[in-house]
């Protein structure tokens, strides 16, 4: 069994024809279970949760159009799961929960892209990395990851160590080991799944999310996995999955999670 639940169609129209392009690539890549997880910030229905000058010109989609595309595709025989990638913002748990509960999602990916008003993975805000201590950024980032898990609002954590995207990584191995162990324990205690994401291979860091040592810490704690591409165009669906599967097996994973209506079921890893 292979999954690719982290796919965005937002670079094209919300039409079945556009979705078919992703479906064809999923089939060609041998993906058994796949779904669309649009960025929640793009929808006007989430403006009360998060809005700033960067988001404003991008927040122009409506959830009814997104859901309609999924339902129409299913009627035409496309086996696509309905998901969302939801940014976690401390203090907005109630609003996030109310939004999530309004729609029939198969899974909800929780991600951290923002530390207050700073988009840590945005190239146009990259200079902020040079103004702060790397260790402080990582602590702030993973504190949000832990609070995300503790909220129990999300099924999957997206790109778990996104903070490494521009290669700003603490050099102290003991610091990282302690951080990884704490985060893995929190994820396990709250029943939160993580994704092994090949997107990092297409980013400046040039490696899979999460780092093998972080993935090993998660495996030791019994944190379950899915495999995802974070594709934003059809050709990236299932990209580099052979590397992701090899990493998962090397660490010791033998199962993968399949989601339907917010419920997970384990299957043998393909």
Fold of 3-268: TIM Barrel (3.20.20)
Where does 152-240 have alpha helices with state H? 173-189, 212-221
Q: Which residues contact 164 (CB under 8 A, 6 or more apart)?
A: 200, 205, 207, 209, 211
pLDDT tens-digit readout, 170-213:
999 999 999 999 999 999 999 999 999 999 999 999 999 999 99
Helix (H) or strand (E) holding 231: none
Helix (H) or strand (E) holding 106: none
Percent of the chain with pLDDT over 90: 99
In DSSP notation, 63-101 reads: HHHHHHHHHHHHHTT---EEEEEEE--TT-HHHHHHHHH
The size of the chain, in residues, is: 270
Compute how many other C-beta atoms are within 10 angstroms of the C-beta atom of residue 249: 11
Question: What distance in Å separates the CA atoms of residue 156 and residue 137, rounded to the nearest whole number?
Answer: 22
- Average pLDDT of the residues in 139-147: 98
pLDDT tens-digit readout, 64-97:
999 999 999 999 999 999 999 999 999 999 999 9
At residue 190, the pLDDT reads: 98
Confidence at 270, pLDDT banded by 50, 70, 90: confident
Write down the domain spans for the chain: 3-268
pLDDT tens-digit readout, 234-257:
999 999 999 999 999 999 999 999
Nearest to 196 by CA among 238, 154, 149: 238
**Sign of the C-alpha dihedral, residues 75, 76, 81, 86?**
negative
Nearest to 263 by CA among 111, 156, 149, 151: 156
Average pLDDT, the chain: 97
Crossing angle of the two packed helices 173-189 and 212-221, in degrees rounded to 10? 40
Q: Which residues contact 180 (CB under 8 A, 6 or more apart)?
A: 213, 214, 217
């Amino acid at each position: 069994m292979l999954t690719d639940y982290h796919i965005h169609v937002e670079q094209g129209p919300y039409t079945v024809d556009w979705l078919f392009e992703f479906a064809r690539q999923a089939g060609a890549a041998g993906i058994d279970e796949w779904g669309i997880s649009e960025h929640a910030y793009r929808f006007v229905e989430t403006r009360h949760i998060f809005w700033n000058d960067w988001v404003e010109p991008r927040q122009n989609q409506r959830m009814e159009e997104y859901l309609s595309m999924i339902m129409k595709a299913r009627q035409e025989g496309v086996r696509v799961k309905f998901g969302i990638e939801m940014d976690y913002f401390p203090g907005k748990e109630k609003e996030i929960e109310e939004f999530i509960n309004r729609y029939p999602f198969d899974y909800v990916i929780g991600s951290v892209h923002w530390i207050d008003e700073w988009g840590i993975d945005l190239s146009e805000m990259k200079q902020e990395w040079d103004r702060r201590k790397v260790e402080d950024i990582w602590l702030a980032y993973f504190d949000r990851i832990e609070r995300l898990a503790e909220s129990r609002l999300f099924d999957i954590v997206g790109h778990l160590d996104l903070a490494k995207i521009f290669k700003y990584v603490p050099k102290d191995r003991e610091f990282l080991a302690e951080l990884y162990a704490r985060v893995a324990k929190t994820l396990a205690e709250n029943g939160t799944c993580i994704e092994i994401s090949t997107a990092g291979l297409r980013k400046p860091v040039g490696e899979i999310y999460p780092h093998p040592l972080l993935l090993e810490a998660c495996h030791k704690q019994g944190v379950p996995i899915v495999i995802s591409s974070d594709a934003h165009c059809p050709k990236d669906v299932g990209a580099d999955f052979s590397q992701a599967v090899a990493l998962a097996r090397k660490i010791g994973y033998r199962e993968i999670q399949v989601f339907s209506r917010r419920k997970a079921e384990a299957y043998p890893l393909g």
